[in-house]
Amino acid sequence: MNSLLDFKVDALVKELDVDTFNFLELSGRKAFHSRGVYGQGVVVAVIDSGVSPHPEFEDRLLNGKNCIKKYGNTSWKDDNKHGTHVAGTIAGKRCGIAPKAEILPVKVLDAMGGGEWTDVIAGIDYARTWRSGNKKVNIISMSLGGGSGQITNTEKRNLEATIKACVDAGILVVVSAGNTAKDEKRYPASFDDVVTVGAVDWNKQIAQFSTYGNHVDVCQIGTGVISAYFDPSQGYEYIELSGTSMSTPIVSGIAALLACDYQMRFGTEISERKLYEALKMNTKDLGIKGVDKYYGAGFCTLQPLNMKIQTENGSDIVIFNGEPVKLDVPVQLINDRTMFPMREFAERTGAKVSWQAPNAQHKTRAEFEW
């Protein structure tokens, strides 16, 4: 049985504070949340090691399917930790990008992250044909993959055909690039019909483990990602993981917000092609100018280029694009200039902020990097 998961466990997270999920703001999720776009009406199939119930999912975790034939087990619950973490990043109420999207768990990997391509293919087919009333799967998120030595030519053809059938049915398929730190073909990442996601660190530099190549479409944060985790002996917790497995669900969540926004605006589902193009259009270029094999089209984010900021002197509330934010300190009016914490601005623009003090005779200077 192939091991189709490759990720790094950084740490269990025992306590959450106000800054725990700040890295998610680089997705621009709040720009959509402030307009009432939370992913409602969108179903994301997580094809992985299963998903365990967690308070993060509220009542939005649908009855799933176990597609592993070998053991005859029908439970779709997560006995690894990977699938629950992925699903939390997509749709967790606190740790997720689209906190009102629904998750359809499709279990194709066992407790050790092992799996057969026939089971993965069966899981993809299940997601494609799944219906519940008027609901259907809009997006498939698949943080798994294998190299050329882990898949036969027949399995490769069948996997590609199954994914193409999803795309033809209007389902966006988002997959991880891999964690081999080299330019190589991995599957399903190298197929034309998927959105392949690479990983960057919190400084938007390529993550040292991220597989690269001309098949990389976009990138997102893949280091130190905190999300939901369930351990039967410990209960509901959070865990910090790293890998392109972690950057992929952030992009899947962004896709869910884009799909929700389109549906709210036009009263109909967005096509797979339009959603794919929207993801690539909502990027900030990184690395060399234009598309490259490390970052693809760039850092995927919904952060608007223009921001409307409303506040008043002495208030501890600033409104960013209609979203009220409580500041650590009140706004101050000094020499006819409005001052408020730079950290708040940085979080909502995706800017990297650094301070430099060349010498004691010069004041500290702030620099922005977009």
* Burial of 326 (C-beta count, 10 Å sphere; 0-12/13-18/19+): exposed
C-alpha 143/C-alpha 103 separation (Å) is 15
Q: Is 105 helix (H, G, I), strand (E, B) or coil?
A: strand
Known active-site residue 19: no
Which is the catalytic residue, given 6, 27, 48, 215? 48
Known active-site residue 82: yes
Q: Tell how strand 283-284 and strand 195-200 pair up.
A: unpaired
Query: Residues with Cβ < 8 Å from 253, sequence gap 6 or more?
Result: 27, 29, 39, 44, 89, 90, 91, 96, 97, 98, 101
Q: How far is CA 275 from CA 139, 170, 258, in A?
A: 10, 10, 7
Q: Tell how strand 139-142 and strand 43-48 pair up.
A: parallel
Output the six-digit token pair for 223: 């280091």
Q: Residue 167: count other Cβ atoms within 10 Å of its Cβ.
A: 19
Taking each helix axis as running N to C, give the angle between helix 244-266 and helix 272-281, from 0 to 180 degrees, rounded to the nearest 10.
120
C-alpha 266/C-alpha 140 separation (Å) is 22
Bond from prior residue into 55 cis (ω within 30 degrees of 0): no
Pair 144, 116: CB distance under 8 Å: no
Which is the catalytic residue, given 82, 176, 247, 261? 82
Which is the catalytic residue, given 190, 245, 247, 252? 245
Query: Residues with Cβ < 8 Å from 87, sequence gap 6 or more?
Result: 46, 48, 51, 57, 61, 103, 105, 228, 249
Known active-site residue 48: yes
Count of alpha carbons within 13 Å of 57, Cβ hemisphere only? 27
Output the six-digit token pair for 325: 């934010």
Annotated catalytic sites, by residue?
48, 82, 245
